[in-house]
Amino acid sequence: MASLDLARNKPLYQSLVEQLKRETSSHPAHTRLPSVRALAREHCLNPSTVVAALRVLEQEGLVYCREGSGTYLAPKPAVPHVPAEAEQADIDFTSGTPSPEFFPVDEFKAAFNTVLDRDRGQAFAYPELQGYGPLRHSIAAYLAQQGLTVNSEHVHITSGAQQAIFLLAQLLLAPGALAVVESPCYPGAMQAFQAVGARVVGVPIGQTGLRLAPLQQALRHAPRLVYTIPNYHNPTGAVYGADIRKKLVQLARERDFYIIEDDHISELYYTPTRPPLLWQEAPDRVLFVKSFSKMFMPGLRLGFIVVPPQLMSHVRDAKKAVDIGSSGLTQRALDLYLRSGHWDKHQALLRSIYRERAGVLYSALKRHWQGTAVFHPLRGGMNCWVKLPEGARASELLKLTAPQGVLFSPGDDFSVARQEYRNFLRISIAGTFPERIERGIALMARYWHSA
């Protein structure tokens, strides 16, 4: 490597960060970086300075660490197929989080102020590695409302669901190990598994869950884990049926693998009752991951994992290696918010808002796309998976609608293997108001039929 550039008035670790970015920009993913000692010796730096630089690169998702092995370049995240003209979209069907207008800012501001008055300087102390104890108790109480008996000692607070998935990937997957995912799949999960050097195999998913025959075939290769979103799957909106849930749990016990259940949005149900969680079928085999981003405020970056006793110490060690704890002040404020009763009211409000949007979307699709595309009404969540005729290319339609300010996600953004789902697209109602939903679907249909 070239000598460290110290010309600019920046901390030493930041200069090293920038140099490592330059030096490794053309290197392939999973390239092993020199050791901390080697980098320190080469640049005449203290090892702690090198560690600080590597920590920054890890937080930016550019590298990943494997205990006892070293630091490696992470795969570059997939770039959505969004044309340059679409930077100022008027109708955005790609967003995955609620409209900011519905964030409970006033209630959360009150919680923050109460925490500051109550805890003073203690609110800014280093957080507990596993998470703020009262918040873990509040989460256990919230899960108990759904009929889940969860010991708060099994709850681990994380900086969002993405970190939770990455921690579990680090824990369970060695380089070359196999991870099974749903196909199509949430891209963040695939990136987490690939970042630790795992092989990712997709199993097709239908409207009632994983296809069992392809799943059985994938299990012949002894995967360490299966990643699922059993309720309101992203991107398809599917909900696992009872038979498939039971079969998946049975197979996990028989074949000795763990199931990661990503419960990103089960609170947003439009049916009379909320669907059950897979975790309650097998707490010993299901690693339950949840974020507050989709239903609350994504900027908080808080989520949690529920893990069985045999993995508790390993998850704590993995968390310590990443960031030694999520924001203590934010955890305290969230705990107070959950205890206040505002959380239940907020969920009910969003269910009402998005139930209306889901109805508007389905009506618009029937009006403008009936007979041309295949789609299903939303049973919950924010995503609708639309199948265009064979041979069609959703990315080509996007090139026509994006300059008009209408964005959606082409299906191949969610492909496990290349060239999959090119005639599919995902429409999200998360950030689009009803009148714009109708207008956006009509415009997409007009350009499709005129192409």
Encoded tokens for 152: 């708060």
In the chain, the domains with their CATH numbers are 12-73 (1.10.10.10), 84-103+355-450 (3.90.1150.10), 106-341 (3.40.640.10)
User: pLDDT per residue over 125-153, tens digit each?
Assistant: 777 889 999 999 999 999 998 888 999 99
Cα–Cα distance measured from residue 390 to residue 410, given in angstroms and rounded to the nearest whole number = 14
So what's the pLDDT on residue 343?
Answer: 85
Residues in contact with 398: Cβ distance below 8 Å, sequence separation at least 6, in sequence order:
81, 82, 83, 407, 408, 410, 425
Give long-range contacts, CB 8 A cutoff, 24+ apart: 102-111: 102/349, 102/350, 102/353, 103/296, 103/297, 104/296, 104/297, 104/337, 104/342, 104/346, 107/337, 107/340, 107/342, 107/346, 108/297, 108/333, 108/337, 111/333, 111/334, 111/336, 111/337, 111/340
Residues in contact with 307: Cβ distance below 8 Å, sequence separation at least 6, in sequence order:
154, 156, 287, 288, 315
Q: What is the dihedral of CA 314, 315, 318, 319, to 10 degrees?
A: -150
Cα 431 to its chain centre, rounded Å, is 17
Cα–Cα distance measured from residue 422 to residue 390, given in angstroms and rounded to the nearest whole number = 9
Q: What is the dihedral of CA 257, 223, 383, 266, to 10 degrees?
A: 10
What is the full per-residue pLDDT of the chain (451 aa) written as tens digits?
445 555 445 677 778 888 888 888 878 777 888 988 888 888 888 777 788 788 778 767 788 776 567 888 887 654 444 444 444 568 999 988 777 777 878 888 888 888 888 888 877 877 788 999 999 999 999 999 888 899 999 999 998 899 999 999 999 999 999 999 999 999 999 999 998 899 999 999 999 999 999 999 999 999 999 999 999 999 999 999 999 999 999 999 999 999 999 998 999 999 999 999 999 999 999 999 998 877 777 777 889 999 999 999 999 888 888 777 777 888 898 998 888 888 888 888 889 999 999 999 999 999 999 999 999 999 999 999 999 999 999 999 999 999 999 999 999 999 998 779 999 999 999 989 999 999 999 999 999 988 6
User: pLDDT per residue over 69-85, tens digit each?
Assistant: 788 888 765 444 444 44
Distances (CA, A) of 156 to 136, 160, 276, 314, 434: 7, 11, 21, 11, 38
The count of residues in the chain is: 451
